Amino acid sequence: MMKWVLIFLSLVVFGDNFMSDSPFYNDYAQNEDVVKTKSGLLYKVLKKGSGSVNPTESQVVTVHYEGKLTDGTVFDSSFTRGVPAKFGVSQVIPGWVEGLQLMSEGDEYEFVIPSNLAYGQNGIPNVIPPNSILIFKVNLIEIQ
């Protein structure tokens, strides 16, 4: 299980493929409560916490999360393991780096991350296909 966390946290070579022609991405972006950033990250606030400070790239956060492919396949989940993950904000894929900095302690967001902000054209063999859009439910527990 820790293998998935290490894979998730490792930085890889990112592809240039932006899935703007993806029906899933475009349909999700049309939802009224979804925000699209300049980079193409889509996010939705599922629950607002009591925190008022956003983490910076130099900080460490503790989160619970679940990662899925657009077909609903769960490829990683700290919820399932029952143990939250702790890592530096700058140690994750670009979509997470951007999304985490929008959150405060106690917030729960859903991120839809285009492949160019995730694992790009390489994917992760036998886990995440190349050029995959990823969906993450993220609960920010603590900022350190």
Asked whether residue 103 carries a pLDDT value surpassing 80, the answer given is: yes
Residue 79 among the catalytic residues = no
Q: Which of 25, 28, 43, 65 is catalytic?
A: 65
Between 5 and 95, the more confident residue is 95
In CATH, the number for domain 2-143 is: 3.10.50.40
Residue 93 among the catalytic residues = yes
pLDDT of residue 18: 53
Residue 119 among the catalytic residues = yes
Q: Which of 8, 28, 93, 128 is catalytic?
A: 93
> Contact at 8 Å (CB) between 68 and 75?
yes
With bands split at pLDDT 50, 70 and 90, how would you rate the model's confidence at 10? very low
- pTM assigned to the model: 0.86
Give the residue-averaged pLDDT of 87-102. 98
Q: Which of 119, 128, 133, 135 is catalytic?
A: 119
Residue 76 among the catalytic residues = yes
Q: For 22-49, what is each residue's pLDDT tens digit?
A: 899 999 999 999 999 999 999 999 999 9
Give the residue-averaged pLDDT of 121-137. 97
Interatomic CA distance for residues 127 and 144, integer angstroms: 30
Q: Which residues contact 13 (CB under 8 A, 6 or more apart)?
A: 120, 122
pLDDT of residue 46: 99
Asked whether residue 15 carries a pLDDT value surpassing 70, the answer given is: no
pLDDT of residue 62: 99
